[in-house]
């Protein structure tokens, strides 16, 4: 028989990102975690707290905020307080560059209010200064018992390390191309910094790594190698993925390949939102990537045919959209009220060709009438035809049938 293509499993340490009684496990066989990042000015504490809340309610299980100035560091405890007051216990990750050592040392309330620190070794100074400043950040993480992510990015790669590796490469009998040397430098920077952190007292199990690049095949190559060379949990994301369809497809392609190979313990889809577009879109896409691979289940799945010449009206598209929106909107309440509801399968089909068959495979399905068919929509529940909907209000009637089914 044909075997299911189950994702491979990569052995890794398990890190814990904690806020209050909320513990998010990362790696070590824990479910892959969805995370996202705010795009508000952190100094604007209320605005930032509201966006964190929005992202958390959309399904982000950790939210990163940039901490770039003393004012932003001062705002962090206030943001945390606002979230706690709203009942949002999502762990906050502080994103530090250049002055992170000073901010974490001079603002202990900020250091404590965060659950994890993202440290970019390419932006922590040069030479001796690098080790001293890096050490100050590790000291804060150890003192406050926080997890860290060593987040390397090819846009801010440690230039001294890259130059020395390029130099070494030029002495090879047959020098490599520049790109593989850069891959090596990314991985060396991440693993080297993690080892340095460990030598400074950071527990290995509290360190996660990332090596972000913006090309799909580059990301796959780098993470395959990174995953092979260490057992730290890995944060996965295609950096600067871009906007809309391009960003969505590129992220899904890269992350899909790696997750199927067991590489990636937390993910972020780094989309540039279109003007006016909600930041939560990146959370929805990240969740969908995990759900489509069968790694997590967040919301009921809606199976729908694409529609064709047999569907002349827009009723079919409208109904599919309405049911999808309805199910997502109910989830924050349903998740608590009806445990397991996320495993529900709903089918919305456009005509009799595949409609009844696909509907029978779902928990609940409807086959709308195509052109030339009688104006009736049979509804299938648990594989059997149970009723037929007719008239103007099929969409609303079907929504009620779904709601009743879930309640029962």
Q: Which is nearer to ligand SF4, 264 or 355 (CB)?
A: 355
Q: Which one, 220 or 305, has the nearer CB to ligand SF4?
A: 305
Interhelix angle 244-260/216-229, nearest 10 degrees: 30
- Radius of gyration of the chain, Cα coordinates, nearest whole angstrom: 24
* Dihedral over Cα of 252, 253, 254, 256: its sign: positive
User: Quick one: 12 or 367, whose CB is closer to ligand SF4?
Assistant: 367
> Would you say 289 or 348 has its CB closer to ligand SF4?
348
3-state secondary structure of 335: helix
283 versus 366: smaller Cβ distance to ligand SF4: 366
**Residue indicated by tokens 């937390």:** 266
* Number of amino acids touching ligand SF4 (CB under 6 A): 13
Is residue 225 a known part of a binding site? no
Q: Is 211 annotated as a binding residue?
A: no
| Complex with ligand SF4: residue 276 or 306, whichever CB lies closer | 306
Spatial CB neighbours of 127, under 8 Å, sequence gap ≥ 6: 160
CA dihedral 157, 159, 161, 165 (to 10 degrees): 100
Site string for ligand SF4, 266-305 (x = CB under 6 A): ---------------------------------------x
Q: Which one-letter DSSP state was computed for residue 234?
A: B
Of 97-105, 171-179, 308-316, 371-379, the segment contacting ligand SF4 by CB under 6 A is 308-316
Closest residue by beta carbon to ligand SF4: 350
Q: Footprint of ligand SF4 on residues 348-387 (CB under 6 A)?
A: 349-351, 353-355, 370
Q: Which stretch binds ligand SF4 (CB under 6 A): 18-26, 79-87, 110-118, 346-354?
A: 346-354
Q: Is the distance from CB of 263 to CB of 223 less than 8 angstroms?
A: yes
Q: Which of residues 310-339 bind ligand SF4 (CB under 6 A)?
A: 310-311
How far apart CA 17 and CA 93 sit, in angstroms, is 9
Closest CA to 330 of 342, 314, 313: 342
Among 91, 100, 307, 378, binds ligand SF4 (CB under 6 A): 307
Using CA atoms in the order 246, 248, 250, 256, what is the torsion angle rounded to 10 degrees?
-160
Check the annotation: does 230 bind a ligand. no
Binding-site annotation: residue ranges for [4Fe-4S] cluster: 305, 308, 351, 358
Residues that bind ligand SF4 (CB under 6 A): 305-308, 310-311, 349-351, 353-355, 370
């Amino acid at each position: 028989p044909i075997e299911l293509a189950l994702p491979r499993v990569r052995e890794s340490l398990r890190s814990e990102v904690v806020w209050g009684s909320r513990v998010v496990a990362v790696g070590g066989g824990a479910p892959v975690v969805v995370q996202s990042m705010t795009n508000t000015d952190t100094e604007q504490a209320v605005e930032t707290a509201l966006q964190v809340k929005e992202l958390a309610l959309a399904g982000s299980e950790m939210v990163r905020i940039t901490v770039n100035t003393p004012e932003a560091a001062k705002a962090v405890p206030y943001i945390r307080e606002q979230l706690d007051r709203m009942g949002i216990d999502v762990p906050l990750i502080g994103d530090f560059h250049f002055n992170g050592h000073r901010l974490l040392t001079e603002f202990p309330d900020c250091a404590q209010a965060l659950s994890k620190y993202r440290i970019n070794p390419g932006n922590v100074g040069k030479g001796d200064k690098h080790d001293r400043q890096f050490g100050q950040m590790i000291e804060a993480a150890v003192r406050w018992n926080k997890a860290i992510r060593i987040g390397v990015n090819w846009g801010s790669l440690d230039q001294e390390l890259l130059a020395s590796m390029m130099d070494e490469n030029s002495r090879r009998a047959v020098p490599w191309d520049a790109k593989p040397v850069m891959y090596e430098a990314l991985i060396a920077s991440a693993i080297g910094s993690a080892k340095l952190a460990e030598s400074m007292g950071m527990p290995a199990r509290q360190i996660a790594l990332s090596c972000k690049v913006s090309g799909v095949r580059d990301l796959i190559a780098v993470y395959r190698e990174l995953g092979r060379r260490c057992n730290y949990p890995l944060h996965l994301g295609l950096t600067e993925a871009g906007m809309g369809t391009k960003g969505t497809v590129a992220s899904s392609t890269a992350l899909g390949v790696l997750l199927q190979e067991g590489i990636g313990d937390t993910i972020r889809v780094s989309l540039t939102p279109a003007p006016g577009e909600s930041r939560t879109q990146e959370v929805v896409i990240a969740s969908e990537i995990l759900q489509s691979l069968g790694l997590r289940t967040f919301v009921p799945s809606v199976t729908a045919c694409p529609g064709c010449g047999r569907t002349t009206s827009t009723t079919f598209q409208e109904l599919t959209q309405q049911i999808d929106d309805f199910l997502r909107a109910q989830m924050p309440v349903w998740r608590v009220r009806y445990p397991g509801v996320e495993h529900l399968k709903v089918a919305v089909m456009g005509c009799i060709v595949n409609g009844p068959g696909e509907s029978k495979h779902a928990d609940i399905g409807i086959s709308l009438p195509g052109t030339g068919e009688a104006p009736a929509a049979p509804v299938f529940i648990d594989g059997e035809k149970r009723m037929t909907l007719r008239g103007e209000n099929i969409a609303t009637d079907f929504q009620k049938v779904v709601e009743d089914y879930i309640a029962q």
